[in-house]
Amino acid sequence: MTDVEQTFVDRALVLDQSVAEVVTQMHRRTGGTVDVALVRDLVEAEWCRYDDARVRTFLPVLVRRAVLNHLTGG
Report pLDDT for 26.
Answer: 95
Q: Which residues of 17-56 are buried (b: 16+ CB within 10 A; e: fewer)?
A: ebbebbbebbeeeeeeebeeeebbebbeebbeeeeeeeee
pLDDT along the chain (74 residues), means of 10: 54 91 94 93 94 86 95 87
Report pLDDT for 6.
Answer: 46
Report pLDDT for 1.
Answer: 59
Report pLDDT for 2.
Answer: 55
* 10-to-5, 18, 25, 29, 61 alpha-carbon distances in Å: 9, 12, 22, 29, 16
